[in-house]
Amino acid sequence: MEFPERSDVDGLIDPQPLPGFAKVRYEPRTERLDDPVGAARESLDALDLDDLPAGATVAVGVGSRGIDRIDEVAAAVVDRLAERGLDPVVVPAMGSHGGATSEGQREVLAALGITEESVGAPIDARMAAAELATVSVGDADLPVYFSEAALAADAVLVVNRVKAHTNFTGPIESGLAKMTVVGLGKQRGAKAFHSTAIAEGYVETLTAALDVIERETPTVGGIALVENFEEEIGHVEAVPAGSFLDREPELLERAYDEMPTLPVDDVDLLVVDEIGKEISGAGMDTNVIGRYRVLNAPDPETPDVDLIYVRGLTEATKGNGNGIGLADLTRKRAVDQLDLKKTYANALTSGSLAKSKLPVVAPDDEFALRTALAALGGYDPETVRIVWIRNTQDLGEFRVSEAVVEDLPEAAVVTDREAVAFDAGTAGFEAATDGDSGA
């Protein structure tokens, strides 16, 4: 596909003067755990594993990206299981991620630092899933699938972060229940779940499927992780099977209290340097940007962001650009980074098609900003409200236009003021956030 060159569109929109920007450090109070890896290791003792005979195999489901020290946590869980005379095996629990292939899911784990050598256990990444049963959810029949690798074990436990989901709001969102149902459902289970959830409701579908899995599989529980504002593990807790739906709502409430968010709710333009699957399942956290863009689920009430400009993809996402469709604008450089096979595998399985649509593609930063500012209508550099972040996970440092400064909370401290211009050769930002030259 050919996109317009700068010369093709340059005369369509007049250049716009940029506002002044302030660099901001944002450090709200947050809770920290001194030894989260040790806590994860010791938490296993709270699960009922005493009835398992020596040498029993335990499938450890992992695979959510962006979790603080997940490689160390996974290794600690494996080590503690081995100490108890059990035989752990790691099973990727990530639905269709990694292009819905065994090799791709191993690649995702390796990107997280989880390999057979680092974790001290074999990895069974086969994609096959067995159909356990079919249950009714509203007006739909839901086939429930479960990883054959996990089903072959004597016991199954999952390790996952409890957090706000990127598609819906409810008493249970992303956590142990979702990883058990969707992650260990592999591609077929993830597809069946999302197809039903879009029509009948996410919580209702998750609850019905989890009931089948707890009845038909040797699932013993999970290790729940809750992160703080700094994206560090702030709480670790073992939750027995049968208690996921009872315990996760309180853990989710804690996660919401600690969740990174924008410092203001009213934003004309949000500039995002990078999106990626390790940052959020939706590429950028939908709760941060105020957009779900899914059927039968209203967008969050706050923040109110008029336009979003995404500048590129992270290296770790390996071309999976799921979430690019949440933006209004992107640039040619970002499109060049896309692996559409991986992106489409994600979109087709989840049924959340809007997240993989292409927004308007600008040739460079300067024209993207020119387009966005003109689209706001009645643009005034003195009053325009722009927030410019590296990604939706790292919100400790960012830039804001001068009109936003007076509305910043007390935890946000202005560290510097600067003018942002464009490099004449690349039309990229001269003053870009750390780690991105803007070229």
Nearest to 418 by CA among 439, 400, 406, 393: 400
Mean pLDDT in residue range 87-100:
92
Burial (Cβ within 10 Å: 0-12, 13-18, ≥19) of residue 225:
buried
Over residues 189-204, the pLDDT tens digits come to 999 999 999 889 999 9
Residue 82: strand pairing partners: none
Over residues 325-375, the pLDDT tens digits come to 999 999 999 999 999 999 998 888 877 889 999 999 999 999 999 999 999
Over residues 126-143, the pLDDT tens digits come to 999 999 999 999 999 999
Looking at the chain, the number of H-run helices and the number of E-run strands are 15, 15
The pLDDT, as a whole number, for residue 432 is 44
Give every CB contact of residue 378 below 8 A, 6+ residues apart in sequence. Answer: none
More confident residue, 438 or 81: 81
Q: Does domain 36-258 match CATH 3.90.1150.10? A: no
**pLDDT at residue 210 above 50?**
yes
The pLDDT, as a whole number, for residue 431 is 53
Give every CB contact of residue 2 below 8 A, 6+ residues apart in sequence. Answer: none
- Contact present, 407 and 264 (Cβ < 8 Å): yes
The rounded distance, in Å, linking the Cα atoms of 159 and 153 is 16
Tokens 């990444």 identify what position? Answer: 125
pLDDT-derived band of residue 435, with 50, 70 and 90 as boundaries? very low
Over residues 240-295, the pLDDT tens digits come to 999 999 999 999 999 988 888 899 999 999 999 999 988 888 899 998 999 988 77
Instruction: Supply the Cα-derived Rg of the chain in whole angstroms.
Output: 22
**In b/e form, how buried is each residue of 49-70, taking b as 16+ CB within 10 angstroms?**
beebeeebbbbbbbbbbbbbbb
Angle formed at CA 119 by CA 83 and CA 317, multiple of 5 degrees: 150
**pLDDT at residue 47 above 80?**
yes
Lowest mean pLDDT among 41-45, 265-269, 326-330, 387-391: 41-45
The pLDDT, as a whole number, for residue 437 is 35
The pLDDT, as a whole number, for residue 198 is 87
Tokens 């390996």 identify what position? Answer: 318
The pLDDT, as a whole number, for residue 424 is 59
- Computed from CA positions of residues 425, 428, 432, 438, in that sequence, does the dihedral angle turn out positive or negative? negative
Angle formed at CA 228 by CA 48 and CA 121, multiple of 5 degrees: 45
- For residues 34, 253, 287 and 342, what is the CA-based torsion angle, rounded to 10 degrees? 70
The pLDDT, as a whole number, for residue 167 is 77
Show me where the domains of the chain are located.
6-29+261-431, 36-258
> What's the full length of the chain, in residues?
439
Lowest mean pLDDT among 206-215, 276-285, 428-437: 428-437
Report pTM: 0.74
> Beta 412-418 vs 21-26: how paired, if at all?
antiparallel
**pLDDT at residue 27 above 60?**
yes
- Contact present, 339 and 314 (Cβ < 8 Å): no
The rounded distance, in Å, linking the Cα atoms of 256 and 357 is 28
Over residues 220-244, the pLDDT tens digits come to 999 999 998 888 999 999 999 999 9
- Contact present, 149 and 126 (Cβ < 8 Å): yes
